[in-house]
Structure 1
């Protein structure tokens, strides 16, 4: 049977066990027993705290090598798979006597960058000289308070996409890949910054601002080591400089719109013109974009429309761009440059490595994660291609389409189910808006992973035209690749470029989804399937909580309040949110993810049960630790395990400070509101996991019937 054919899931039954005829022993079932059920914490009953029951076993055992199906585990698994792709490709080339070099094509260059990064070797005596040349090219060495910040930041963003004060992106518009190749195929999007301060403070419980300031201070000393600027040396002579950088990052992080603010639970964007953006004597948006898009075919004028993230109150940015923050901003930019290049700084960069990536796990190899994140920064779409190739175990450059077909089928099933719920008036969408919502879902398109076309991406990258000279250091070569990748990215604006690196924002390593409103497109990266590799060629029902949950969340995302044309729909949504707020124990309005966690569970569970019935396996049992688990309980165990963050009360307090919902609430609250969970575990009414009051995103048929009866 071809891998591209639909495979039916058939559990392996042990028929000789009369009392256990439903026991499943297939590879996916054994994987679930080993990675999920085996680590259940029996000291905490499921009806008292299901998160603790599923997730705390690892903490109690003190075994941090256990890899439950969390997003970090998926990323680590994908890292290993991509390394295997590189090794197989290198072995084939070596066997054929045609080993490729960094100037041959993007794939060979990508492997060269990764290998150099993993070596963790750099000549310390040349690092400071190379850095001095890089800072010179970025304009940081020559900066004085008389030099305007706008073009300086524009220059750093153009070369390294540094984004010190805000994120800016060139994204595909609704006319992207349309017949009109000369139209506005890309638009500019502004959003809040992603700060290193936030990343560090969330990395571990013991992280403190004092520790972060020390890291900043040590890094900035490296800037001055080979610097010839008297002004730069003078402004970096004390620890106070590092503390000012920390204070700036803290202010920048607070630019993120917190829950409870306008549209926080339904983040979208608003359209403004460049002339509408707040400018001042110390900040000019025109000067910034003139430098940023210096090579683009189209200029940004005062009437150019720019989309602004609703989570980014840009009017507050003017408070940080006045002259009093100038020196600190330049120091912060230098610090971000050093973090960006830290994997290639040898011993100088070791303390900065863990700031390059967002992954948090005790068993994580920080250098491996840093190298993979660097690859994605340099070859955004190319990393997606390599990630997609991990789905085929036999041929390194052959893309297997069976996964695409399976996810496409799941997308269609999800879309069909959500439309049925809308038609039955079981959603929060008002009757007047249901037709509009159904039309939007009908028109929704879906893509899984990037196109696996090495040749097209190489034509786009044009590696031969920008050779890396043999007498350059590794750091100098990597910086040149950074500049080349960034130039391609920015120059897509106003052009007919295929814009491969502009197409998607979500990371290929992320177990998530991306919804592009401009194109009405739902995109899933390869990481959502990485944990399934090596276990099964099919997305079997037991894996629905790991894989299909992202499809369901993405489809429901299209119904976000920001897209509703009627106020009555928004009012119903607010009623649901108001009900949920007490359960989440927050003082602010909930995030969109909190709502989606609650809204996706009913459609996902329905799809899971339906898939089991179609596979003639509506009743199955798994055995672990002498206990049997039925198919209902298995679903909830696997779902909860994907959100384990292995945190304690101190972690949770810090996560809430940064407006992140801790895993305990992400697991427990949706299940407390889902009556099928209480039925599966026989939770008595009034227990923590089966409260008397429940908040439901979808109306039940019974409540809908009662409402209609009252209205009549």
Structure 2
């Protein structure tokens, strides 16, 4: 996603309590609650529960598939297997409206004909999957997507509606607040104005290509002019494309308060290098490039002639780049990606560019005095790629290099043009899982753009509706219990030596948590200052996109002049996600994820700990996964493990690699594709550790004063123990349906395992789960051999 640890979900934030209100007051949530009651009125959940217990059938489910009655050792039949439910029936379930709504949500997702000891994900999510086919405008649907959609709808109400003044602001602050809102709304309106977008057609992109081609010609000579290439690449990178490589400013992982320059491999159009090894995808890419050249490039340059041949040359260049690129699985280890160079030493390694000239072009001395010199520290993630890039370009015609750069502009900016141009890319994007067959509603595209570009403006009104003070307090409490659970666990790990254990304790104790949103979004002047150099006009959508790319680039580069901003968030508040940032040793939970089904202020705590508690534990465990463990309590990349303990960790980690590498998904051709156990190792360790800590933290919370009141039974689940419901709460936030194209893309590029295996893989390693569901030893969900680190 960026230089930080991969977030919980795998993709461009202390906070005070919400200015006003809580999400339950918003129109969207009122509709959802009313809808749930309407559904419950139809299926009569509560009376159906009584009917179930009386031995009747309901909607095709047999009584043997439903929760057992009062016998605390009644067995529940699942074909050849049995599961015991041990909770006594002496507790009156909660029948209040919010409990009924929550019960309906959980019940509807279940597939009670599935055996939880054979496939718990199917048991927990089968009902959801069956009831939620993937619509034509989406590549996947799921509980997370549902929440993200709700958040986008709330943002739509903000940016599409009238400005709502903040009564606490007066004078200049009030004026700035209104101006900030107008900027966000102007961007939204420019995106929604489809008549203007269609009227201008491809003209804005054609003008951009013409300007770039005339300003930075590369095809005039027989050999590639390196100085002209420097100028062309600098312009391309400034405008948001990343041909050949990416360059950005970020924190120094060995000195977390210092900003440095980092370079990484880049330049591929397809999602990963593996796609270039399959002829079908390469031919699709070549056909798309040819069509784009015929419809756009022919009107932008003097180049005429064999568009098919020109497209083939560009794709062959990308194939060559793919061959020298490292696979995703080799881009995970931060120590291996931390390679120190200077402009001089990089020029010796990679003669493709005069690197100091390139850097001086990006960091002109007039704006960045004394920034670039012979000894400037550069971190190069993949030295082998940069070394081999010299040979690739030496074998490539200058005309092909220029056309490749122009292609990257076309690919990057096509989404900001009319439908005729966008449709040129539809087939390829659908084939690679990046788009569905039908475009999403226009409002969704435009609200997403606003959140991505000026998210700290619109966030203020989002949190006013969606994030109450109780949400922050509850998240803080969960974090405290999770941290304590981890600290309590450390003395019990015999494979940890004392010195390593001591440093691990220090790291947990120094962990910083950010919850909800940054305080800065409530301060109009700070927000205005952030976006003051970003011009937005509601009449010019394409130009706004270009301005945004320039602004992102400039905003990043100027960080080189100052220390790392420890208050900075890397996600906007409405984001349904979370992350651990190793150099800051911080875990971050935006307001967007602190909503049902992850967290409900009035939901039973066993569901909350199963969901948001697992998320908190997941992010904390990232501090000690195969990558996070390489950073100390102050966020410095250094080896603080003893050799013996490190070897034991690697041995235990290999168990997870082997386990998850056996899992498969079906690709678009119907063939089974294996999960990459190396690529997904860090996330799998976090899922396993997070699940264990969530259970332990919940038990501690239960033992605290008022624990029983916070854990009332839900109607319809009389036969379930609270532990069993905790595991349901954990699984059901990952319920999803995914198209095969998207599934293939995720397996190849996403460090997270597919949802089914995030749940089944972690639970199969949990003896507590096996005990809760009385799974027979040797069953799929209770294998004899389990993997365990934390």
Q: Same fold (TM over 0.5)?
A: yes
Matched, 1:300 2:372: yes
Matched, 1:440 2:507: yes
Please say which of residues 646-655 and 429-438 is displaced more in the overlay: 646-655
Matched, 1:156 2:221: no
Partners of 2:537 and 2:444 lie apart in 1 by 27
Residue in 1 that maps onto 2:497: 430
Which one of the candidate residues 584, 588, 591 is aligned to 2:660? 584
Partners of 1:640 and 1:677 lie apart in 2 by 12
Partners of 1:607 and 1:497 lie apart in 2 by 33
Residue in 2 that maps onto 1:378: 453
CA distances 1:439-474 after superposition (whole Å, capped 9, x unpaired): 2222222223333234233442464x776679x744
SS of match in other structure, 1:42: coil
Q: Work out whether residues 691 and 762 of structure 2, in 8 Å CA contact, stay in contact via their aligned partners in 1.
A: yes
Cα-Cα RMSD:
4.6
CA distances 1:483-518 after superposition (whole Å, capped 9, x unpaired): 244323322321489799xx3445656544333333
Shift of 1:686: 1.0
Residue in 2 that maps onto 1:113: 187
Q: Work out whether residues 510 and 525 of structure 1, in 8 Å CA contact, stay in contact via their aligned partners in 2.
A: yes
Q: Work out whether residues 343 and 370 of structure 1, in 8 Å CA contact, stay in contact via their aligned partners in 2.
A: no
Residue in 1 that maps onto 2:346: 277
Shift of 1:607: 1.5
Which one of the candidate residues 602, 609, 614 is aligned to 1:544? 609
Within 5 Å, give how 1:470-481 maps onto structure 2: 473-481=540-548
Which one of the candidate residues 632, 642, 645 is aligned to 1:569? 645
Partners of 1:545 and 1:220 lie apart in 2 by 51
Residue in 2 that maps onto 1:38: 108
Shift of 1:192: 4.5
Residue in 1 that maps onto 2:685: 595
Matched, 1:411 2:479: yes
Partners of 1:598 and 1:43 lie apart in 2 by 26
SS of match in other structure, 1:515: strand
- Describe the shift of the 1:39–1:3 C-alpha distance in structure 2 as closer, same or farther (beyond 3 A): same
Report the count of equivalent residues.
659
Residue in 2 that maps onto 1:230: 302
Partners of 2:494 and 2:195 lie apart in 1 by 57
Gapped regions of structure 1 (runs ≥ 5): 8-13, 94-99, 179-183, 699-712
Q: Work out whether residues 286 and 315 of structure 2, in 8 Å CA contact, stay in contact via their aligned partners in 1.
A: yes
- Describe the shift of the 1:609–1:332 C-alpha distance in structure 2 as closer, same or farther (beyond 3 A): farther
Shift of 1:668: 1.2
CA distances 1:395-430 after superposition (whole Å, capped 9, x unpaired): xxxx855544433333333323222222x1427543
TM-score normalised to structure 2 length: 0.71
- Describe the shift of the 1:677–1:245 C-alpha distance in structure 2 as closer, same or farther (beyond 3 A): farther
Residue in 1 that maps onto 2:31: none
Matched, 1:606 2:696: yes
Partners of 2:406 and 2:105 lie apart in 1 by 43
Gapped regions of structure 2 (runs ≥ 5): 1-16, 23-45, 51-69, 71-88, 167-173, 632-638, 663-675
Q: Work out whether residues 101 and 112 of structure 1, in 8 Å CA contact, stay in contact via their aligned partners in 2.
A: no
Partners of 1:201 and 1:333 lie apart in 2 by 22
- Describe the shift of the 1:618–1:105 C-alpha distance in structure 2 as closer, same or farther (beyond 3 A): closer
Shift of 1:685: 0.9
Partners of 2:697 and 2:479 lie apart in 1 by 11
Shift of 1:345: 1.2
Please say which of residues 45-54 and 165-174 is displaced more in the overlay: 165-174
Which one of the candidate residues 392, 396, 400 is aligned to 2:464? 392
Partners of 1:461 and 1:282 lie apart in 2 by 36
CA distances 1:164-195 after superposition (whole Å, capped 9, x unpaired): 3334332356999x9xxxxx752223344485
Matched, 1:168 2:247: yes
Matched, 1:635 2:726: yes
- Describe the shift of the 1:71–1:407 C-alpha distance in structure 2 as closer, same or farther (beyond 3 A): same
Shift of 1:25: 4.0
CA distances 1:505-537 after superposition (whole Å, capped 9, x unpaired): 456565443333333333333332254699547
TM-score normalised to structure 1 length: 0.78
Q: Work out whether residues 314 and 400 of structure 2, in 8 Å CA contact, stay in contact via their aligned partners in 1.
A: yes
- Describe the shift of the 1:628–1:539 C-alpha distance in structure 2 as closer, same or farther (beyond 3 A): closer
Q: Work out whether residues 191 and 308 of structure 1, in 8 Å CA contact, stay in contact via their aligned partners in 2.
A: yes
Partners of 1:319 and 1:407 lie apart in 2 by 53
Matched, 1:455 2:528: no
CA distances 1:39-74 after superposition (whole Å, capped 9, x unpaired): 223343111112233334444456347997644333
Partners of 2:215 and 2:385 lie apart in 1 by 31
